[in-house]
Structure 1
Amino acid sequence: MWGFLRILMISHLLWTVSAKFDLTEVSDIIQDEILTWHDVCRDVTGTTEEAIKQVQTGHFIDDDALKKYVFCMWRISGVMSTNFKMHFDRVEEYLPERTRGIASQTLKGCHDKVKDKDLPNFEKTYILQKCLYDEDFDDFVLF
């Protein structure tokens, strides 16, 4: 029973994360990590599933809890340090193989656009996330 529920929950989460993100493209371990990150960041920041879905569909609403959720997802995954430094090699570990090279280049470009802005890191991360959506919405993934 747990196996079926796990697959159903992960499928729902990954479907809402990206219309193009296929459950079979990442390992079971990564699927479990994504679910854990999602639950922790949602609970800690107090954002809602509805707000998260807004970003996942390209509607970047002005909501501090949601911005902090996005920041939390980047931080908890280990791809971003507290000083907004990106660990690009870690990003590759969490993406489907078909998107790795292109996604890393897009991420580097978006990171370069925002890294020196005089804003709190949660604001910069939200701008980064919007840039990623604007640059490659077909393969957009909300971490």
Structure 2
Amino acid sequence: MKAAREIFFIVGVCVALISGMSDEMKDLLDSLHAQCLSDSGVNEELISKAQKGEFEEDEKLKCYMRCIFDETGLFGDDGKIDVEGMVSMLPDEIKEPFAPTVRKCGGLVSGSPCEQSFKMYKCCFDEAPQYYFLP
């Protein structure tokens, strides 16, 4: 199931960046969102703000972000974000311009898994908002 979510996540990011999403892709991303929303218990308003780059220091929001990484297979068994895995999953259209940002941000994150996830999303937005995507 995680492999399928990884593929759909990659395709979703690519499609979201290039054009509108298919109904099937929207359903898959909605499912990922719903699962992580339920798992974390975060207020949906905080997610909406984070999608626009407004990051509030909220533990549930941080754990929502961790859930996204977990469910897309981007959180390693070592308790750290798999930066190279993330780079390898980037769509070709954004790999060259965005990979350095992912690597830079991945090198800066620390703390608990939820904290790392939050810092990674925030850093990616701060460094390259044109490629930022949070389901």
After TM superposition, the score normalised by the length of structure 1 is 0.70
Distance change >3 Å, CA 101–CA 28, structure 1 → 2: farther
Aligned to 2:53: 58
**Correspondence 1:39-118 to 2 at 5 A:** 39-82=34-77, 83-86=79-82, 88-89=84-85, 92-93=88-89, 95-114=90-109, 117=110
1:36 aligns with 2:28: no
Assess, with a 3 A threshold, how the Cα gap between structure 1 residues 85 and 49 changes in structure 2: closer, same or farther.
Answer: closer
Aligned residues: 121
> 1:84 deviation in Å?
0.8
State the identity as a percent.
26
For the Cα contact (< 8 Å) 2:83–2:102, is it kept in 1? no
- State the Cα distance separating 1:142 from its structure 2 match: 1.5
**Offset of 1:33 from its aligned partner?**
3.6
What is the distance in 2 between the residues matched to 1:39 and 1:23?
23
Pick closer, same or farther for the CA change 1:69–1:110 going to 2, 3 Å: same
Unpaired runs of 5+ residues, structure 2, are 1-11
- Cα offsets for 1:42-82 (capped at 9, x unmatched): 01111122110111111110111111001110111012224
Between the aligned partners of 1:49 and 1:23, the Cα distance in structure 2 is 24
Aligned to 1:10: none
The C-alpha deviation readout for 1:60-114, integer Å capped at 9, x for no partner, is: 1011111100111011101222411415345544x44421222222111100111
* SS, match of residue 17 in structure 2: coil
CA deviation digits over 1:3-32, x for unaligned, max 9?
Answer: xxxxxxxxxxx8xx9xx73454x7777554
The letter for the 2-side match of 1:71 is: R
Distance apart, 1:129 and its partner CA: 0.9
Which has the higher Rg, Structure 1 or Structure 2? 1
- Report the Cα distance in structure 1 between the residues aligned to 2:27 and 2:69, rounded to whole angstroms: 16
Partner SS, residue 80 of structure 2: coil
Seen in structure 2, the aligned counterparts of structure 1 residues 58 and 33 have a Cα distance that, compared at 3 Å, is: same
On the 8 A contact 2:105/2:123 being kept in 1, the answer is yes
Q: Give 1:21's aligned residue.
A: 17
The 1:87/1:131 distance shift into structure 2, 3 A limit, reads closer
